[in-house]
Amino acid sequence: MSRARRAYKPGERLRVWSIRLVLWVVIVMALLPLVYVVTASFSPTQTFFSPSVIPQHPTLDNYRAVFQSGFMRWVWNSTEVAVVVSAAQLVMTSTAAYAFSRLRFIGRKYGLMTLLLLQMFPNSMAIAAIYAVLARLGILDRLWVYALLLIGGSAFNIWLMKGYFDTIPRELDESAYVDGAGHFQIFWRIVLPLARPMLAVVFFLTIIGMYSEYILAGTVLQSPDNYTLGLGMFTLISGQFAQNWGIFAAGSLMAAVPLSVAFAILNPMMARGLTAGATKG
């Protein structure tokens, strides 16, 4: 930053301004669609949409209508499933990552790599088997079945968490070990508290990720009362587009703004974790 304040070299001014121009164009193209969604949410329904970003007859009708659809119910369903699944995953991720980071066992060297490879086949790829079995057992359309399907451990999260655990100095473990602490105490009293930022990141990013899950939700859940946010919004927009676009836009904003803010706070920490894990090894 401080280097930037010095006088530009001859060719540099031209370069900087061309970079700026390109970036401005990209930013406008990237953000205009979002602005349009905001516009639509304040525009009366049943009108043809104009390219203007300012709504011509601003109204809050769409926001009122959102509450009359099943929106709140869908948000609640999604939140419930997301919190339960993420909490369960956090426990499994941190214990497994601890083992891969600190303990010696057969399969340590290639175990994580094998799991990462196998998880390139997520269970959503086995959709026929899952649907057929659930239909046969007669347990479709239940939220707990949906949550159960998502609860499997994530090798990617383990890898991410292991990368973070590896940065915690081993000297701490060793001195605790000398003081008579066992593995579990080292894990519980030393590694976990120091990894708190990463635990929070993995937990909340898993929650956010759950809101975008569609394929298993679409497979398991059938009645509107059990819809997740995604399923509900999908039926809203793929029903009658012209009538629902404004309501849909309003609902999207109400759902997306809190999630996006949470994401914006967590993302830089995540990015650091990603590169920390990637440059190791």
Partner 1 sequence: MRASQSTRSRVQWSAYVYISPALLTMCVLSFLPMAFTIYISFTNWNQMHFLHYQFVGLQNYITLFSPSTASLVAFVPTLVWTVVFAFVSTTVNYLVGLFLAVLVNDKALPEARLYRTLLIIPWAVPGLISILCWQGLLNENYGQINALLHLFGIGPVPWLDNPFWARVSVILVNLWLSFPYFMTVCLGALQSISTEQYDAAVIDGTTAWQRFIYITFPNVWRVSIPMLIPAYSAAFNNFNIIYLLTGGGPNRVETQFAGYTDILASAAYKLALQFNRYDLSAAISVILFFIVGIMSLINMRFTNAFKAVD
Report the site for partner 1 in 114-153 (rule: CB under 8 A). 115-133, 136, 148-149, 151-153
3-class SS at 59? Answer: coil
56, 175, 185, 238: which one contacts partner 1 (CB under 8 A)? 238
Contact 226, 141 (CB under 8 A): yes
The CA distance from 180 to 219, in Å, is: 51
What is the total count of residues that contact partner 1 (CB under 8 A)?
A: 112
Query: Binding to partner 1 (CB under 8 A): which residues in 194-233?
Result: 208, 211-215, 218-219, 229-230, 233
Nearer residue to partner 1 within complex by CB, 59 or 95: 95
What are the backbone angles phi and psi of residue 86, rounded to the nearest 5°?
-65, -40
User: With binding defined as CB under 8 A, does residue 14 bind partner 1?
Assistant: no
HSE on the CB side for 266, CA within 13 Å? 20
Least Cβ distance, residue 60 to partner 1 (angstroms): 19
State in angstroms the smallest separation of the CB of 224 from partner 1: 17
Which parts of 79-118 interact with partner 1 (CB under 8 A)? 91-93, 95-96, 98-100, 103-106, 108-113, 115-118
The Cβ of residue 8 has, within 10 Å, a number of other Cβ atoms equal to 12
C-alpha dihedral over 195, 196, 198, 199, to 10 degrees? 110
Report the SS3 class of residue 153: coil
Region 161-200 residues binding partner 1, contact defined as CB under 8 A: 183, 187
DSSP, residue by residue, 115-146: HHHHTTS-GGGGHHHHHHHHHHHT--S-HHHH
- Cβ closest to partner 1, residue 59 vs residue 153: 153
Q: Which stretch binds partner 1 (CB under 8 A): 58-66, 69-77, 154-162, 198-206?
A: 154-162
User: By C-beta, is 8 or 67 nearer to partner 1?
Assistant: 8
* Identity at 153, one-letter amino acid code: G
Minimum CB separation from partner 1 for residue 61, in Å?
17
Q: Which of the residues 39 through 78 are near partner 1 (CB under 8 A)?
A: 39-40, 48-51
Q: Which is nearer to partner 1, 60 or 257 (CB)?
A: 257
Each residue 241-270 as x (binds partner 1 by CB under 8 A) or -, in order, gives xx--x--xx--x--xx--xxx-xx--x---
> What is the DSSP code string of 158-221?
HHHHHHHHHHS-HHHHHHHHHTT--HHHIIIIIIHHHTHHHHHHHHHHHHHHHHT--HHHHHH-
